[in-house]
Amino acid sequence: MSSALTRHARSLWLALLLLTLGGIVGALRMPVSLFPQIDYPRILVAIDAGERDPAQMEAEITRPMEIALRAVPGVTHIRSTTSRGAAEIALNFPWGQDMAQATLATQGALATVASRLPPGTDYEVRRSDPSLFPVLGLALTSDSLDPQALRQLAELKLRPALTAVDGVAGVDVLGGAAREFEVAVDPAKLAALGLSIDDVARALTQANLVRGVGRLQDRHRLYLVLVEHRPATPAELARIPIKSGDSAAAGQVTLGDVARIHPASAPNYTLVNSDGHRAVLVNVRQGLGGDTVRIVQQVQARLAGLGLPPSVKVTPFYDQSELVVGAASAVRDAILLGALLAGLVLWLFLRSWRLMAITAAVLPAVLAASCLVLYALGLHFDMMTLGGMAAAVGLIVDDAVVMLEHVMRRMQEGRARTPPGILAAAAEMTRPLLGSTGATIVVFLPLAFIAGVSGGFFKALAVTMVAALVISLLYARLLIPLLCAHWLRPRDAELAERAGGWLGWLLRQYHRALRAVMAHPGRFAASVALVLGIAGGLAWYKVPSGFMPKMDEGGFILDYKAQPGAALADTDRLLRQVEALIRATPEVASYSRRTGLQLGGGLTEADEGDYFIRLKDGRRRPIEAVMADLRQRIATQVPGLQVETAQLMEDLIGDLTAVPQPIEIKLFGDDPAQLAPVAQRVAGAIARIPGVVEVVDGLRVAGDAIAIRVDAGRARLHGLDPAQVADQVEALVGGNVATRVRVGEQMLDVRVRGPSDLRARAAELAQLPLVAPDGHALRLGQVAQVVVVAGQQQRTREDLAPFIDVTARLEGRDLGSAMAEVRKTVASLRLPGTIRVEYGGLYAQQRQSFTDMTLVFSAALLLAALLLTFLFERLAWTLAAMATVLLSAGAVFIGLWLTGIELDVSALMGLTMVVGMVTELIVFYFSELPAGQPAEVTALREAGEKRLRPILMSALIAILTLSPLALGLSRGAGLQQPLATAIIFGLIAAVPLVLLLLPALVCVLQGRPRTPPTAAVE
């Protein structure tokens, strides 16, 4: 191998240089996003059926659609929510399902029932993926333009410009009502002329005409013949005739004679503001595979060149690229700090600036070359790939350190003073390097079989680390020996000898400890196993548990709901009080508010909505403290408002999988009258549990209704039927869009409706004027009874079964312990036998992820055992190694308990990586033992002497390079903090366990006579 390196040195130099340069090119071309590209197995069907009663809507529309959708191949669960005139159906599929095919199948299933749905029913099928949520949110405000003008500006200028940005999936405009023309008819004048409101609508429809009637050739030209009448202004609409006399002299009645035509806004029951000012919000959504940072940069560049009016202020209220840049900064800091700390450790142990320079050059080269692999695999720079790179820094430096330390040791021994000798010394590390790299890689193999959120997230991290480790192996085995052969000098070995003073003292202390251990290896091994086993078991029992790691995103969502059916003005009045509290919070930089809308879309009533509150950068209270403080102040100072708080990414992941709340108690039963009081009992009981906050009983009331109950007999006396009565009432109250006219680039509705004073009071609806077919007038109260119906409740179903879900969030408490108390509390309520209880929310996701990660850990342990057995063919050594690895894993639980970090999927990933990293240290230790014969105490002592320095160097470097992530020093580092903490504590325990416990276990498990301890150490 060393001779091959010498012969092909130039070609290897060039190949590694090209690999590094290719990685740099690949890194510059890789898209940047927040999370890995995951196919979430969920499809949403949004249904709009106008104005309908929830019960009738469920029977006529939701249930038939659910039955049809149940036949879609692969569907595991169907969940629906039905409200007034709107519904949402969510279909869940197994992870790994082809979601493009599933979307087509869903659309096909709905097409089979479309003809049986009531007229006017519209639906939209969309995949549940991150593109539903914006990557950039912009608020448009102005001191001189009203929201209607701002909306027109956003639709005509901003939307076309921003949609053209590469990677943008869509641009949504929220706030400001659409422009239209309102035709406010006078019922008295219509009655006097024997006309109905339907006659007015019919006249408008027939008068607004553009029709191609054929083509004509004349004088060498081909003409398109158009018959048209295009009214485009109120004056032109007013001149449209709606009735004429029997003769030319009789004259005609125009629209202006019976109605007032004026520009207006479409009926709108939503409000949007930014920092307390009426605003229009523009949400920029990223397509799958888009580059978040580049999209934000290009959007900002487009905005700068649009030439918006000076009075219009564009303010970003949400910018996802800031989180991505923060994660990238964390990786950059980890790389720089890793190179610096590795250099310091090398200087401390070997005192050679050349070794420091080699390590500093190899680290970025390996990471750059790894990017080429990621680019070829179609991965992105995201929180997981960047976190994988940061976590791999220590392993990359470790490979370099192991090779450099071995070469330096051989130089100190006088066996590698020439370039061929150095290359030969490096060749001795081929097998140990392959084994150690394999030990770390095999722990990631089981992740290929894991589904769910944890599998989707950590597969990207695993692929990144495997790529980095393979590239690191190539550079450590090929590049570093060439650098050492051409650059290291005998003086470097002399400098390393001078660093032996404190190492000599450390070695003597190690001899003393090993002598004591080997005097009674069985007793020592049993004592350590007992102490660490009990401590690890106790820590495992006490450590808090969660699902996904918490990180400070720099902003959060505040969902709110006012009293059911509250008027928009009353809800706005309450929210103005909330905004005063938000502005009084010193950490708040800006906020935006949606009423009747949600940031990510979804079924929303006019009495609910959300805020996105953006916090200031720099030193401030933790985001969880700000959220808790604001929630408590709203609860005490703004009664009548129910609020929930969550960070956006937590909310996003929850919405994409099922339910964003950590706690969800699903109550199933056939009797709605029985379900409601049970839900209230459950909500009241869990609200008393410490740490459980924002409890919602699931009894969502859409609001009140006014029922107009037509007396068919009385209506028939006037020549009317219930359908005709409903048509006239609808025209007077809500209005009908009779036609659409083109004004510039826009098509504006022309809405015919009664005057505003007729619909100002519910009590006056009985006085609405109707027109009978023969032309005589009557009042609505003559043929119908008008009553107020209170509390129309939203209806929820799962797999066609009615249910109510009680949800809650947590404050200052981990998910595991809270759910244990929740389950105990619900069980103590002794609910009726007809009520079935299931638990969902993020807790269900946590249980599935923990099960999956436990399988990954077990498989990693078995694969590591297989690798060790393959390398050394000693079952006793394998058993000793596995015991050492398991005790190191116990130290992980102790570390999490001491630091108060939750045991979540990130910590479990760190626990799994500890298996590989400790096995790597063990591989190097076993490589120093004589092959083919049992290990005597003398051989174990010599192996410990030889591996003491490299093990200390490797562990120190890995611990120090992971420290920035473990301390959460940079924004976006929170996702990897549990992983880094787990690895650090695992390595802290692994160093003494490998150097002291492992030899003792080998001695005990071999069951052979040992060399006397005294002689062995002398």
pLDDT tens per residue across span 413-469: 777 777 888 888 888 888 888 888 888 888 888 887 777 777 777 888 889 989 999
- Looking at 479-628, which runs of residues are DSSP E strands? 555-561, 588-595, 608-615
Distance in angstroms (rounded) separating the CA atoms of residues 955 and 932: 29
> Which candidate, 487, 535, 446, places its Cα nearest to that of 355?
487
What lies within 8 Å, CB to CB, of 401 at 6+ separation is 342, 345, 346, 359, 950, 953, 954, 957
Q: Which helix (H) or strand (E) holds 46?
A: strand 42-48
Short-list 347, 479, 399, 366, CA closest to 924:
399
> For residue 600, is pLDDT > 80?
no
Spatial contact of 869 and 439, defined as CB atoms under 8 Å apart: no
- pLDDT score for 1012: 45
Supply the pLDDT for residue 1007.
Answer: 67
Question: Is pLDDT of 540 > 50?
Answer: yes
- Lookup: tokens for 958: 């890995």
What is the distance between the alpha carbons of residues 926 and 435, in angstroms, rounded to a whole number?
A: 11
222 falls in which pLDDT band (50, 70, 90)? very high
Specify the CATH architecture of the domain 500-542+874-1018: Up-down Bundle (1.20)
Cα separation, 6 vs 112, whole angstroms = 72
Question: Cα(716)–Cα(902) distance, rounded to whole angstroms?
Answer: 71
DSSP line for 672-735: HHHHHHHHHHHHHHHHTSTTEEEEE-S--EEEEEEEEEE-HHHHHHTT--HHHHHHHHHHHHT-
User: What is the C-alpha to C-alpha distance for residues 752 and 71, in angstroms, rounded to an integer?
Assistant: 43
Torsion of CA 713, 714, 718, 724, to 10 degrees: -70
Alpha-carbon span 210 to 698, nearest angstrom: 51
Highest mean pLDDT among 67-76, 430-439, 790-799, 930-939: 67-76
The pLDDT, as a whole number, for residue 1 is: 55
Q: In the chain, where does the domain assigned CATH 1.20.1640.10 lie?
A: 1-30+333-498, 500-542+874-1018
- Return the top range by mean pLDDT from 568-572, 643-647, 998-1002: 998-1002
Burial (CB count <10 Å: 0-12, 13-18, 19+), residue 411: buried
Encode pLDDT of 671-681 as tens digits.
878 888 999 99
Residue 1013 is predicted with a pLDDT of: 43
Q: Given the structure tokens 């001779």, which residue do they identify?
A: 3
Residue 65 binned pLDDT confidence (cut-offs 50, 70, 90): very high
- pLDDT reported for residue 2: 57
Starting at the edge strand that comes first in sequence, how are the strands of the sheet with 608-615 ordered?
277-278, 271-274, 588-595, 608-615, 555-561, 642-646
991: nearest Cα among 903, 891, 877, 863? 891
b/e 435-472 (16+ beta carbons within 10 angstroms → b)? bbbbbbbbbbebbeebebbbbbbbbbbbbbbbbbbbbb
378 burial (CB, 10 Å; 0-12 / 13-18 / 19+) is exposed
Residues contacting 862, CB < 8 A, separation 6+? none
**188 pLDDT exceeds 90?**
no
Position 887 scores a pLDDT of 94
Report pLDDT for 937.
84
How does pLDDT run across 127-141, given as a tens digit for each residue? 887 777 888 999 999
In this predicted structure, what is the pLDDT of residue 658? 66
Q: Are strands 280-286 and 168-174 parallel, antiparallel or unpaired?
A: antiparallel
d(CA 475, CA 16): 8
Per residue in 918-945, pLDDT (tens digit) is 998 898 888 888 876 777 888 888 888 8
Q: Which residue has the tokens 């109905």?
A: 196
Percent of the chain having pLDDT more than 70? 95
Angle between helices 998-1006 and 500-519 (to 10 degrees): 30
Look at residue 950 and tell me whether its pLDDT is greater than 90. Answer: no
CA distance 158 to 303: 8
Q: Which architecture, in CATH terms, is 41-128?
A: 2-Layer Sandwich (3.30)
Q: Residue holding tokens 């436990």?
A: 854
Q: Where are the beta strands (DSSP E) in 486-569?
A: 555-561
pLDDT, tens only, 750-776: 999 888 888 778 778 888 888 888 878
The correct CATH number of 1-30+333-498 out of 3.30.70.2740, 2.30.30.100, 3.20.20.140, 1.20.1640.10 is 1.20.1640.10
Whether pLDDT at 670 is above 60: yes
Residue 831, pLDDT > 60, answer yes
Distance CA 933, CA 348 (A): 36
The predicted model gives 616-636 an average pLDDT of: 88
- 3-state helix, strand, coil split of the chain in percent (to 5) is 55, 20, 25
Q: Report whether pLDDT(1009) > 60.
A: no
pLDDT, tens digit, 9 for 90 and up, residues 553-577? 888 889 998 888 788 888 889 999 9
Does position 1018 have pLDDT exceeding 60, yes or no? Answer: no
In this prediction, residue 657 carries a pLDDT of 67
- Beta strand spans in 616-660 (E): 642-646
Decide if pLDDT at 1016 tops 50: no
Q: Which of 386-395, 435-444, 961-970 has the lowest mean pLDDT?
A: 961-970
One DSSP character per residue, 953-1001 reads: HHHHHHHHHHHHHHHT-STTGGGTHHHHHHHHHHHHHHHHIIIIIHHHH
Asked if 55 and 776 count as a contact pair (C-beta separation under 8 A), the reply is no
Residue-level pLDDT at 1014: 43
Residues 25-56 have pLDDT tens digits of: 998 888 888 778 888 888 999 999 888 888 88
Sorted by sequence, the CB contacts under 8 Å of residue 490 that are 6+ apart come out as: 411, 417
Question: With a threshold of 0.85, does the pTM exceed it?
Answer: no
Between strands 259-265 and 642-646, the pairing is unpaired
Looking at residue 497, its pLDDT comes to 66
Q: What is the pLDDT averaged over residues 794-823?
A: 89
Indicate whether 274 pLDDT > 60. Answer: yes
Find out whether 790 and 653 touch, Cβ atoms under 8 Å: no
- pLDDT in the model for residue 3: 66
Mean pLDDT over each residue of the chain, to the nearest integer:
85
Could you read off the pLDDT of 376-389 as tens digits, one per residue? 998 888 888 888 88
Residue ranges of the chain assigned to CATH 3.30.70.1430:
41-128
Mean pLDDT of 649-658: 71
Residue 301, both tokens = 């560049």
pLDDT at 888 over 80: yes
pLDDT at position 743: 84
Identify which has the larger pLDDT, 993 or 505. Answer: 993
Which pLDDT score, from 0 to 100, does residue 880 have? 93
Q: Where are the beta strands (DSSP E) in 539-655?
A: 555-561, 588-595, 608-615, 642-646
* Distance of alpha carbon 924 from alpha carbon 912, whole angstroms: 19
d(CA 109, CA 116): 13
SS (H, E, C) 156-187: HHHHHHHHCCCCEEEEEEECCCCEEEEEEECH
pLDDT at 267 over 90: no
CB 568 within 8 A of CB 268: no
Evaluate if residue 897 carries a pLDDT over 60.
yes
Query: What is the CA angle 532-536-539, rounded to 5?
Result: 140
Query: Across the chain, how many H-helices and E-strands are there?
Result: 36, 31
The predicted pLDDT at position 501 comes to: 64
Q: Is 205 helix (H, G, I), strand (E, B) or coil?
A: helix
DSSP, residue by residue, 277-328: EE-EEEEEEEPTT--HHHHHHHHHHHHHTS---TTEEEEEEEETHHHHHHHH
In the block, which residue shows the tokens 């239209």?
Answer: 180
Structure confidence at residue 5 as a pLDDT band (50, 70, 90): low
Cβ-based neighbours of 932, under 8 Å, separated by 6 or more: none
C-alpha span between 540 and 563 (Å, rounded): 44
- Under DSSP, is residue 1018 helix (H, G, I), strand (E, B) or coil? coil
Q: How far is CA 610 from CA 536, 604, 756, 933, in A?
A: 43, 10, 30, 70
Structure-block tokens of residue 347: 């200087």
- Strand ranges for 195-297 from DSSP E: 209-218, 221-229, 241-244, 252-254, 259-265, 271-274, 277-278, 280-286
H-run or E-run covering 865: helix 841-872
891-910 mean pLDDT: 90
C-alpha to C-alpha distance for 497 and 295, rounded to whole angstroms: 55
